Structure 1
Amino acid sequence: MNVRSRWLMISIGLGILLNPLNSSMVSVAIPRLQNVFHLDYTGVSWIIFSFYIASSIAQPIMGKASDLFGRRKIFLTGLVVAFIASLLAPLSPNFTWLIVFRIMQAIGTSMMVAVGMALVRIHITEKQATALSILSIFLSGAAAIGPFIGGVIIHWWGWSAIFFINIPFVLVSFLLSWRNIPKDKPSSSVSRGLSLRKWFDLIDASGILLFTVGLVALLASLLSAKSSGHISLGNVIALLIGLALLGAFIRHELRATSPFIPLRTFAKYPAMTWVNVEFMLVNVLYYSLFFGLPSYLQMVRHVSEFQTGILMLSLGLSSLVTSPIAGRWIDKSGPGPALLVSAILMTFGSVWLVTLNQTSPVISVCFALAAFGISNGLNNVGMQAALFQSSPQEIIGVASGLFNTSRYLGTILSSLLIGIVMGGKFNFEGFQVLGIILTVIALSLVFMSRRHQKSGQSHES
């Protein structure tokens, strides 16, 4: 890799790490935000929901936009949007405005993630696999150390610092990207003039609207009912509206020429569908721990943000150390054995959470964190390998997009699960119930992982 390629990698890497960094740092900030804005746990959880819903919608849209308007332009615009959001979020007069800027931040950082891999594939022709693996380190590394960084800076400078910390990354990435990302021309359709209606059809604006409003209505109804402790007429109406809109979304996607989520692909390739279902459940487990444990440590065990960040570091480090080892193992033995071990480790970690009591040494949570961290390292490689094994080569691009959608759905469901279990207040009893639910999900993954072993054996024969 020559010097120009290295600088291009650094330029892109500093931009794409902002999405996972900002999605992970907030896990330690939830108790502080709850106190600052006088919210219950259900209310403050929208800081998580908003980011992931916006990211899940923005990334495929911005991927299509980059094909039309140019990848360099979309990447630089994303940096500008992220800069403005990071500057304004700490100045939010109330929680509603903080959510608005959080959504804006998700859109800006998603613009960079959506085109970062494409920029590498187009402009780095030698040692491309190495370049892509380096980008993966930026993404996974930022997610892994996010809680640690968040814990340290919140402890010393307050919750607003988790937004201000983005500014130096954005400025350096913008200067380097302006210099190192080659200019590209917009597509011929844009040059000729793409009508607004055609653009809406291309991104499936109707499908996105149905999906977003339906999902938000469904989440709001479920969380509101749990938080208030009773089911009101408003909850029922919101629930019915959400279900109706999601039903209309499914019907629309089956008919759309350029669907936001190509549902017909799931029906056509059942093996790939099972991989996506399993990946969604894996993310429900991982992110339930990722977002739930910091709140448990701070609200139940009264551990400081700084100490919480230190403890959460064992999760990220275990994952980072395991990933390269997992790659060599899976290349040799296939994804089946690694995914089985991963499911067993998640079961152990979930059971360990159930055994904790209010007098257990705080350091003992590191056993569960290490188990989930190692399993995450195995899953990062194993689930991707299982996807490639189950997906026909001609649809691998669509399959990768659906794979990311499954990740976001799992993350959103994890936040919903925590909100429903905890209701208005995070407490020890709710945390134990959460551990039991996670144990059941982990055990189901143990049985599901056997499918990959059988699939691997059939491929060998």
Structure 2
Amino acid sequence: MRKISWWLTVSVGLGILLNPLNSSMISVAIPRLQDVFHINFTKVSWVIFSFYIASAVAQPVMGKASDLFGRKKIFLTGLLVSFVVSLAAPLSSSFEWLIVFRILQSIGTSMMIAVGMAIVRVQISDKQGAALSLLSIFLSGAAAVGPFIGGILIYWWNWQAIFLINCPIVVVSFLLSWRLIPADESSASSGSRLSVPQWLRMIDVPGILLFAFGLVTILVGWLSFKSNGHFSWIHALGILTVLMLLLVFIRHELRTPSPFIPLRTFANYPAMKWIHIGFMLVNILYYSLFFGLPSYLQMVRHVSEVDTGMLMLSLGISSLLTSPLAGYWIDRSGPRPVLFLSSVFMTIGSVYITTLHSSSSLVSVCVPLIAYGMSNGLNSVGMQAALFQSSPKQLIGVASGLFNSSRYLGTILSSLLISIVMGREFNIEGFRILGIILTMISIMLVVISRYGIRLDVSQEN
């Protein structure tokens, strides 16, 4: 990779790491936020869910906005929003204000996630696999070390520090991006000629509201059921509401000229469909382990928070070591072999989870962590490369946004899966059942990576 391409990738990487970093650092701040704002676990969990829901909605919208207004403008605007929010969030006078800032933080970081990959896709033509592997290091590394960094910041300072730490990263990324990202093409300014009603129709506000309201309804219903401990007519009504919203959403998306989720595009480019489905399954698997294994260590094995964090580093380290190898392999053989091997590693890790018990050695716990970490390193590069090869250039912004929405849908579903399996208390029996479910999902992923992903659109499109 040329030197200018390397620095361009670094400038983009510093921006896109803010989203996974802030989505993972907050996990260790939950007990502190409960004490500060005097709230229960059900309510404080919205500091996580609000970020994921806003990310799932904002990233496709920002991908579409970048195709209209220009990728550099959206990227730099996202950095400015992130900087302001990082300064304002520590001043939150109530938990409700903190949720508002978390949503704004999610929107700002989503601007960079949605267009960062597209910038690399368009601006770097030589050794694109190596560039993607470098971006993957920023993404997977930030998610992996986020809880460790957050724990240190909260231990030595307070919860406000997990927001303030963003400021120097934003400043460096902004200065590099302002200088290195090429100016937007003149055609990108077409969005400025749209009226407000035209812009609202372009981003499909009804589709966004149906999508977001459906997610919120699912989460509120499940958290309510979890708190009450019994199924009532209200929960049944919630299920019917979700099903109706799903039908209305599908009908609307098929009929609107500019859909939030382009279902017809998936029909025209089936490889894109399978890549998004596969990426969602990957994140269900990854985040089920990411959130589930620390609970197993602390609640079943009674391992300290510090030792748990040290063990979890094996997940991030193995991912970081594998990503560069994936980039070189993709440059020579394409993404499909990488994706197949990744799904095999996840299957091995999932099967191993089913063998863990209350007296398993702590060293053995690193086996599924390393298997999943290696899989994540391969997947994070391979899925992005497959997305680029399956998406026509005129749709790359939308495709990148939807791609990352699949990430957050998988994350939300992983949290729901753990809650459904475990019920009120985390236990070894439920953890083994979770391992069985993850094994079945990983086998599905093996089939998809082997037979579902057919890269029928070339990069030259």
Equivalent residue, structure 1, for 2:98:
98
Equivalent residue, structure 1, for 2:349:
349
Letter in 2 for 1:165: I
Q: Deviations over 1:339-377 (max 9, x none)?
A: 443333223322333333333333432111101101112
Distance in 2 between residues matched to 1:37 and 1:361, nearest whole Å: 38
Q: Deviations over 1:151-209 (max 9, x none)?
A: 33334334332222112212333344455556657955455x42110010111111101
Letter in 1 for 2:207: G
Query: Against the structure 1 CA distance between its residues 155 and 438, is the aligned structure 2 distance closer, same or farther, given a 3 Å change threshold?
Result: farther
**Deviation of the 1:217 alpha carbon:** 0.7
Distance in 1 between residues matched to 2:75 and 2:345, nearest whole Å: 38
Distance in 2 between residues matched to 1:319 and 1:131, nearest whole Å: 16
Equivalent residue, structure 1, for 2:61:
61
Equivalent residue, structure 2, for 1:361:
361
Please say if 1:324 is aligned against 2:324.
yes
**Deviation of the 1:423 alpha carbon:** 4.0
Letter in 2 for 1:111: M
**Deviation of the 1:122 alpha carbon:** 6.2
Equivalent residue, structure 2, for 1:419:
419
2:240 counterpart SS class: helix
Letter in 1 for 2:227: S
Q: Deviations over 1:310-353 (max 9, x none)?
A: 22111111112112323444555555554443333223322333
Identity over aligned pairs, percent: 68
Query: Against the structure 1 CA distance between its residues 91 and 237, is the aligned structure 2 distance closer, same or farther, given a 3 Å change threshold?
Result: farther
1:356 counterpart SS class: coil
Letter in 1 for 2:197: R
8 Å CA contact 1:349, 1:369 repeated in 2: yes
Letter in 1 for 2:102: R
Normalising by the residue count of structure 2, what TM-score does the alignment of the two structures yield?
Answer: 0.84
Distance in 2 between residues matched to 1:292 and 1:236, nearest whole Å: 28
Task: Point out the more displaced range, 136-145 or 2-11.
Answer: 2-11
8 Å CA contact 2:81, 2:108 repeated in 1: yes
8 Å CA contact 1:272, 1:391 repeated in 2: yes
- 1:24-103 equivalence runs, <5 A: 24-30=24-30, 32-33=32-33, 42-103=42-103
Distance in 1 between residues matched to 2:340 and 2:116, nearest whole Å: 32
Query: Against the structure 1 CA distance between its residues 170 and 68, is the aligned structure 2 distance closer, same or farther, given a 3 Å change threshold?
Result: same
Q: Deviations over 1:243-283 (max 9, x none)?
A: 22222111110011111110112334445433332322121
Q: Deviations over 1:195-248 (max 9, x none)?
A: 110010111111101110122112211232133211233333333323222221
Query: Against the structure 1 CA distance between its residues 400 and 311, is the aligned structure 2 distance closer, same or farther, given a 3 Å change threshold?
Result: same
8 Å CA contact 1:49, 1:412 repeated in 2: yes
8 Å CA contact 1:41, 1:423 repeated in 2: no
1:358 counterpart SS class: coil
1:355 counterpart SS class: coil
Flag structure 1 segments of 5+ consecutive residues without an equivalent.
457-461
Letter in 1 for 2:201: D
Equivalent residue, structure 1, for 2:292:
292
Query: Against the structure 1 CA distance between its residues 406 and 2, is the aligned structure 2 distance closer, same or farther, given a 3 Å change threshold?
Result: closer
Equivalent residue, structure 1, for 2:200:
200
Distance in 2 between residues matched to 1:159 and 1:427, nearest whole Å: 29
1:307 counterpart SS class: helix
Equivalent residue, structure 1, for 2:458:
none
Query: Against the structure 1 CA distance between its residues 372 and 50, is the aligned structure 2 distance closer, same or farther, given a 3 Å change threshold?
Result: same
Distance in 2 between residues matched to 1:208 and 1:62, nearest whole Å: 12
8 Å CA contact 2:131, 2:327 repeated in 1: no
Distance in 1 between residues matched to 2:394 and 2:74, nearest whole Å: 27
- 1:350-429 equivalence runs, <5 A: 350-387=350-387, 399-429=399-429
Q: Deviations over 1:129-153 (max 9, x none)?
A: 6555543432333223323323333
Q: What's the Cα RMSD here? A: 3.4
Normalising by the residue count of structure 1, what TM-score does the alignment of the two structures yield?
Answer: 0.84
8 Å CA contact 2:81, 2:104 repeated in 1: yes
8 Å CA contact 1:41, 1:424 repeated in 2: no
Distance in 2 between residues matched to 1:71 and 1:100, nearest whole Å: 26
Letter in 2 for 1:413: L
8 Å CA contact 1:28, 1:295 repeated in 2: no
- 1:207-226 equivalence runs, <5 A: 207-226=207-226
Task: Point out the more displaced range, 8-17 or 196-205.
Answer: 8-17
Q: Deviations over 1:53-103 (max 9, x none)?
A: 211221222233334444444333322321232233344344433322211
Distance in 1 between residues matched to 2:198 and 2:20, nearest whole Å: 32
8 Å CA contact 1:31, 1:295 repeated in 2: no
Q: Deviations over 1:365-423 (max 9, x none)?
A: 21111011011122223434555666678866655554333323212211221233334
Task: Point out the more displaced range, 290-299 or 97-106.
Answer: 290-299
Flag structure 2 segments of 5+ consecutive residues without an equivalent.
456-461
Distance in 1 between residues matched to 2:3 and 2:345, nearest whole Å: 42
Distance in 1 between residues matched to 2:74 and 2:404, nearest whole Å: 20
Distance in 2 between residues matched to 1:249 and 1:418, nearest whole Å: 27
2:354 counterpart SS class: helix
Please say if 1:146 is aligned against 2:146.
yes
